[in-house]
Amino acid sequence: MLTSKQRAQLRALANPIDTVLMVGKSGFSEQLYITADEAITARELIKGKVLEACEYSAREAADTIAEAIGADVVQVIGSKFVLYRRNKKDPKIKLVK
């Protein structure tokens, strides 16, 4: 569980990063979960977007993907969302206490 200060820190770090995950009209597939898991393992912090053709809201998509890959939802704004999961072997982001 993230504190509000940690969430603020992660939001600031997520601002300049590119969107690496797209949820489209096909919704949630096994390949989407694999891609999300690989990306978050490599980066710890990923940004996703829900396309207009998708039947799910950004909040629903973020919650579903986060639960499937064991991540925390940092932020949801409009059609974009940010997920965070600490890499236990090689942590890149040092969170405030």
User: Residue 39 is encoded by which pair of tokens?
Assistant: 């990306």
Q: Is the dihedral of CA 12, 77, 91, 5 positive or negative?
A: positive
What string of pLDDT tens digits covers the 97 residues of the chain? Answer: 889 999 999 999 999 999 999 998 888 889 999 999 999 999 999 999 999 988 999 999 999 999 999 999 999 999 999 999 998 888 888 888 8
pTM value is: 0.92
How many Cβ atoms sit within 10 Å of the Cβ of residue 67? 10
33 token code pair:
């979960």
What whole-number distance in Å separates Cα of residue 54 and Cα of residue 92? Answer: 32
Residues 6+ apart with CB under 8 A from 9: 95, 96
Domains of the chain, by residue range, sit at 4-84
Tell me what percent of the chain is helix, strand and coil, each rounded to the nearest 5: 40, 25, 40
What dotted CATH number matches 4-84?
A: 3.30.110.60
